[in-house]
């Protein structure tokens, strides 16, 4: 339980730092993936913290992840937006990856929206499509809930029957139709990375999922452990079937091209929540 006590102390220090500078609770936490950081420009009355200045907060090393926590108002809701996330392939432990979500929970967040860039496995998808995540498959070699459990936060054995809130999925589709924003739906498979998938791996994973990426799953596990409701979106940045080379620059560029539509969709969904 020593690790649990250390986590509690660290969280207390981080939350105290933030709450001394920002008043009130936060309704919704938003995590922005590669090339999708532009949403923070829409936040009103924003107070921004770099991850460097937040006690015990990890630092992102991946291009396209700026490393800011922005708290303010968006679509009439109090939000905390993480402009940049953390990945196992950067060398972070489960504790490091999960820490920001624990902080969001400590700020009062009850709902979390996660976004990510992902490769398309479903051949009906095209580059630039937005996919609402219906469910996920964890193919990473770790689970952030392994180790000592803090029973004050959540249960030892977590039910994942509804990892992504079905009510929010329905809302997202309703909003997308009203706004004329095409929206796919599917299963996301999370891998360790940082190598992209081989053609054989793509063929294998396409039998079970619609999109593949290197994030999101650990954050959703931690969020659900803390009782947060989750809505997830993946921007499909390439659908190659392993037939051409993929680069991180391509992923960022493709995500940025679709970011305007995703930002509009998120704002309209927030208005209806």
C-alpha distances out from residue 110 to 33, 36, 73, 245, Å: 20, 22, 15, 40
List, for residues 136-181, the tens digit of each pLDDT value: 999 998 899 998 898 889 999 999 999 999 999 999 999 999 999 9
List, for residues 55-108, the tens digit of each pLDDT value: 999 877 765 557 899 999 999 999 999 998 889 998 988 888 889 999 999 999
| Residue 211 annotated as catalytic | no
Cα 176–Cα 233–Cα 255 angle in degrees, nearest 5 = 100
* 229 sits in which H/E element: strand 229-238
What average pLDDT does range 242-264 have in this prediction? 79
Q: How confident is the model at residue 256 (pLDDT cuts 50, 70, 90)?
A: confident
| Residue 34 annotated as catalytic | yes
Set 118, 131, 172, 214: catalytic member: 214
Set 112, 117, 140, 255: catalytic member: 117
| Residue 56 annotated as catalytic | no
Q: Which CATH architecture has domain 2-272?
A: 3-Layer(aba) Sandwich (3.40)
User: Given this model, what pLDDT does residue 165 score?
Assistant: 99
Residue 208 has pLDDT above 60, yes or no: yes
What average pLDDT does range 184-203 have in this prediction? 95
User: Given this model, what pLDDT does residue 240 score?
Assistant: 65
| Residue 65 annotated as catalytic | yes
User: Given this model, what pLDDT does residue 242 score?
Assistant: 59
| Residue 82 annotated as catalytic | no
DSSP state of 250: H
pTM of the model: 0.94
Percentage of residues in the chain having pLDDT higher than 90: 73
- Cβ–Cβ < 8 Å for 108, 26: yes
């Amino acid at each position: 339980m020593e690790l649990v006590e250390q986590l509690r102390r660290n969280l207390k220090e981080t939350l105290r730092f933030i709450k001394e500078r920002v008043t009130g609770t936060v309704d919704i936490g938003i995590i922005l993936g590669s090339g999708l950081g532009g949403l923070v420009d829409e936040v009103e009355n924003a107070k921004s913290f770099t991850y460097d200045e937040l006690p015990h907060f990890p630092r992102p090393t991946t291009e396209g992840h700026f490393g800011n926590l922005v708290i303010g108002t968006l679509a009439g809701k109090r939000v905390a937006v993480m402009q940049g996330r953390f990945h196992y392939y950067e060398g972070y432990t489960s504790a490091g990856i999960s820490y920001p979500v624990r902080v969001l929970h400590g700020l009062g967040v009850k709902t979390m929206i996660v976004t990510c860039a992902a490769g398309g496995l479903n051949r009906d998808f095209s580059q630039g499509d937005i996919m609402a995540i219906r469910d996920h498959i964890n193919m990473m070699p770790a689970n952030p809930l392994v180790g000592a459990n803090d029973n004050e936060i959540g249960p030892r054995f977590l039910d994942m029957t509804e990892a992504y809130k079905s009510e929010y999925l329905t809302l997202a589709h309703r909003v997308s139709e009203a706004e004329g924003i095409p929206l796919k739906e599917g299963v996301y498979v999370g891998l360790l990375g940082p190598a992209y998938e081989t053609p054989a791996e793509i063929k294998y994973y396409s039998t079970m999922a619609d999109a593949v990426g290197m994030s999101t799953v650990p954050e959703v596990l931690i969020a659900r452990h803390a009782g947060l409701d989750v809505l997830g979106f993946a921007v499909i940045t390439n659908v190659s079937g392993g037939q051409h080379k993929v680069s991180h620059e391509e992923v960022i560029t493709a995500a940025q091209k679709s970011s305007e539509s995703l930002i509009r969709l998120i704002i309209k969904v927030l208005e209806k929540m």
